[in-house]
Copies of this chain bind each other. A is one copy, B any other.
């Protein structure tokens, strides 16, 4: 097989043995698998040839981009089965950028950060807001996992930023769905099947992405709110008064702030008083009109749910606040591992979720530390639990992870939420989702899988 892969992509683009190792373990270091080889095709034709070869030899295929999946979606299984990793990183060309159509056609291996830059050079914005991971992750993976991030409340999830895709199907054939049309009603919308399927239906090799005008006016507020319920009400109020200018609305709990202050240098309390909950929100507009007055007016007219707030139109000042938000994950890592949840509920029920989940966890595990933060603007909360004491934390993680998940996810289910808002299922939540998705929906997913990938060769052991 190696010789055959070599013949398609060149031997310098086929890794195996020790050289392949870094591609067989996931971003968080929790999943390691085995593969015959890691193959790096240069173009869609080569992807097609490699997939055909695998299909005719009944070898499973694991599509991989920047390998930044948080759910083990982009590495092979450890079950000893025959698998090949197809890494798309060499396919990193921007094939076309049409500034008038506000679109660019890009290959799967383009780094997200490179796409920010390509758009900027054309005086356009590509608004998929995953700035921390953007130098590492690739757009093919972003689309395959329907990535989220900070800007979703304004621009939508990754799938909302796509007009067309090119896909290599499980039998190696190439579907050219690279349309760059805003309107096209000529049958089933196949692109939405492949987006978010985590590589289980085919390999996205290229896509037509929507671009947006670049905002030129900005105002950012740091708001100390009474509680999550006040934050939820504030968001609805801000939307009604400032509309779709809101391009970020993030909530941070006291516990997050303490972790950041303790572990990240040059971070400071945003206010003289300590508050239990803060919100960072940002207005941005293409029109060069000042936004701070509107934001001030909206915040002043909100009422008693706000303890205090500050507003800036200065980018550096705003960055000092954003630093608190952006460093939460790193600050946590320094403290040791935690049990993480990436959940969503209807925005109107975020406060209920936090109250109920926290009460249930504290009841079951007195002294548990809850780190809650994230994209309130989408109802998406990153909700992590750990014990402050290292020894106790070890016990919690080794013996109680399953039960902690159950407690959190039962609250999510009761509030009609999702146990994976933006990270996907991968290997991590593949079994868990069977508890929370209806048998009928799982059956429909299975039907689709069987229709498109009848031999089950695409990224087995992920999603379903």
Contact = CB atoms under 8 A, between A and B. Distances in A.
A185 B240 contact: no
Interface residues of A, number: 99
Contact of A123 (B240, B417, B424, B444): B240
Interface string A345-358: 11111000000000
B441 A181 contact: no
A418 B183 contact: yes
Given A346-B101, A346-B181, A418-B186, A294 B289 contact: yes
Interface string A183-204: 1111111101101110001000
A173 B452 CA distance: 23
A145 interface: yes
Given A242-B287, A289-B294, A160 B160 contact: yes
A243 to B, nearest CB: 3
Nearest to A463: B187
Contacts of A233: 100
A431 interface: no
A188 to B, nearest CB: 5
A73 to B, nearest CB: 10
B213 A182 contact: no
Nearest to A158: B185
Nearest to A196: B189
A359 interface: no
A26 to B, nearest CB: 17
A449 B417 CA distance: 29
B185 A193 contact: no
Interface stretch (A44-52, A311-319, A374-382, A398-406): A374-382
A423 B287 contact: no
Contacts of A445: 187-188, 190
26 contacts: A99-B236, A100-B348, A101-B379, A152-B183, A160-B160, A169-B444, A180-B416, A182-B378, A182-B379, A184-B344, A185-B422, A186-B420, A186-B424, A186-B437, A187-B463, A188-B193, A188-B197, A188-B201, A190-B444, A190-B445, A190-B448, A244-B244, A245-B287, A444-B452, A450-B451, A451-B451
Complex A-B, nearest 5 residue pairs according to Cβ-Cβ distance, in ascending order: A243-B286, A192-B192, A100-B348, A451-B451, A183-B421
Given A173-B440, A181-B379, 7 more contacts: A100-B236, A176-B438, A182-B347, A183-B379, A188-B463, A214-B240, A243-B285
